[in-house]
Amino acid sequence: MSKSKTLDAEDWIKAAARSLTLSGPNGIKVERLARELNVTKGSFYWHFKDVNALKLAMLERWETITTEDIITGAVKSDDALENVLLNIAILGLVKPPADYGGARAESAIREWAKYDQDVDDSIKRVDTRRLSFLRTRFEHAGLSKQDAEQRSALFYATMIGAGWLTNTLTLKTETIRDFIRSLLS
């Protein structure tokens, strides 16, 4: 990135997310991010009061991208449960946005939550929203409330677990589809 480009807050959020996935929360430092973005530290303070404000903005953006955007993308073209679940898996595991840390962002944030209450609160909101969405989809497909809760939990746990294994695991779309079909049978 050249010095002539004017950065906005989103550029700093993306850089912080990438740094988190590479170095953990201790990698989110103004000087380090400024070096990566090839700008002075003053640019940071134009957009954020301090590093904590950046972290909170990053978490808010992560919640939107990995929850609301995925939900919207998963249901936009097809309402069938199998296709919705496949879309969620592809958007969440196969095609997460690289600008925001890629496939490792979810596990990095979950690891960070062990040490930071704000991050833990964010995880709880995300988990609640995602599971609620999944349970509702399973119920609309005709499953009982109890069965919908169990299957949505199994699907979600599988997606979170697969996210932790992104460095050692490559899932093919057809394998994901087969898992979803067995979950729905």
Question: Would you say the C-alpha torsion 37, 41, 44, 50 has a positive or negative sign?
Answer: positive
| pLDDT score of 154 | 96
| pLDDT score of 20 | 96
* Angstrom distance (rounded) from CA 123 to CA 147: 24
And the tokens for 75? 């249901």
Angle at 14 between CA 34 and CA 92, to 5 degrees: 155
Exposure b/e, 95-125, CB count within 10 A at least 16 = b: ebeeebbbbbbbbbbbebbeebeebeebbee
Q: What is the pLDDT of residues 26-57, one digit of tens each?
A: 999 999 999 999 998 988 999 999 999 999 99
* Angstrom distance (rounded) from CA 48 to CA 126: 24
Position 3 pLDDT exceeds 50: no
| pLDDT score of 10 | 95
| pLDDT score of 91 | 85
Using 50, 70 and 90 to split pLDDT, how confident is the model at 4? Answer: very low
Using 50, 70 and 90 to split pLDDT, how confident is the model at 155? Answer: very high
Q: What is the pLDDT of residues 80-127, one digit of tens each?
A: 999 999 999 988 887 777 888 888 899 999 999 999 999 999 999 999
Q: Kindly report which listed range (49-58, 119-128, 130-139, 175-184) carries the lowest average pLDDT score.
A: 175-184
| pLDDT score of 1 | 44
